[in-house]
Copies of this chain bind each other. A is one copy, B any other.
């Protein structure tokens, strides 16, 4: 590939704002776009070739009309989606980056083959490449920081505490459970299939796991696994599971609210009825975003790299190949089709 050449640039476009469950037809993969791999003389930007694009549940909020209550900017209909990804710098107008650098785009790369990054300061340069590159969209990226900050900073866990994680085999949940086990907690996870529950117990080392789709009564299921109650709930799903958890929290328990994926595609969110229990039980519920804890990222990498290398923490990914697969990959998050962290392989190098 020659500097200055014009190349194909397939893009995943949002066609319209979405209400309810998003469909593949809400997006389109365009094949006619091209990009010239050249920047104007004075430009500070870089052009990145996208290698991996991350599928993250928060992206559902960006498919809404901008007047809806969402704190992340909406995508622009007719333009590519954007998000987290791993790429390689192919043209650089910025002194910190040179051709060939591998970078993690922290929410700022396009769902396309090549992206012009107008604010390269937001890119994190990837130093260690003795792990799968895709990990930088998962365990070494935003989901990893979400699990780390959410568990250690928000949940303020103690050895021996009883921890419940929902969506426990997902990009974040699988890490929370493993971190909690390493700390010496009792850990139970919920997930949406037998295969995922097997992962929890046999791969991630959870003490117990259950398939919520086979539990007619979440409250009873939780009582079964937590006869003495829950100290920490790492909430990825909200809704009915949260309601059942509120009936099972222990005094001075903590609920880290990472996301509420069960609610994202509903026109009217479900009601949570058991909130009053947080008073007598003195429960703290804390919503959080990994972005508030970015100053801890180096500390997190320092902790997690040895864990990865020693096999103390494992990470399961679910990779779709080709940018054409991206719309289905993203939607699969909302039907639970993914097993582990969902990522799209756009190009191998």
Q: DSSP class of A's interface residues: helix, strand, loop or mixed?
A: loop
Convert A154-180 into 0s and 1s, putting 1 for each residue whose CB lies closer than 8 angstroms to a CB of B. Answer: 000000000000000000000000000
**Can you name the residue of chain B whose Cβ is closest to the Cβ of A288?**
B282
Chain A interfacial residues counted at CB < 8 A? 37
Convert A322-342 into 0s and 1s, putting 1 for each residue whose CB lies closer than 8 angstroms to a CB of B. Answer: 000000000000000000000
Q: A69-B247, A247-B69, A251-B71 are in contact. Are A278 and B285 (CB under 8 A)?
A: yes
Q: A273-B268, A275-B260 are in contact. Are A287 and B292 (CB under 8 A)?
A: no
Number of copies of this chain that the complex holds: 2
Whether A238 is near chain B, meaning CB under 8 Å from some CB there, is yes
Whether A269 is near chain B, meaning CB under 8 Å from some CB there, is yes
Whether A257 is near chain B, meaning CB under 8 Å from some CB there, is yes
Q: A71-B251, A247-B69, A251-B71 are in contact. Are A278 and B287 (CB under 8 A)?
A: yes
Q: How far, in Å, is A47 (CB) from chain B's closest CB? A: 31
Whether A36 is near chain B, meaning CB under 8 Å from some CB there, is no
Residues of B within 8 A of A280 (CB): 61, 70-72, 287, 289
Residues of B within 8 A of A279 (CB): 257-260, 287-289
| 20 A–B pairs (Cβ distance < 8 Å), ordered by A | A69-B247, A69-B274, A69-B277, A70-B280, A71-B251, A71-B281, A238-B275, A242-B275, A257-B278, A263-B276, A269-B276, A272-B273, A272-B275, A277-B287, A278-B285, A278-B287, A279-B288, A281-B287, A283-B286, A284-B284
Given A69-B277, A269-B276, A270-B271, 16 other A-B residues pairs in contact with their CB atoms under 8 A? A71-B251, A72-B280, A238-B276, A257-B275, A258-B279, A260-B279, A263-B276, A269-B275, A278-B285, A278-B286, A278-B287, A279-B288, A282-B292, A283-B286, A283-B287, A284-B287
- Residues of A near any B CB (own CB < 8 A): 61, 69-72, 238, 242, 247, 251, 257-260, 263, 268-289, 292
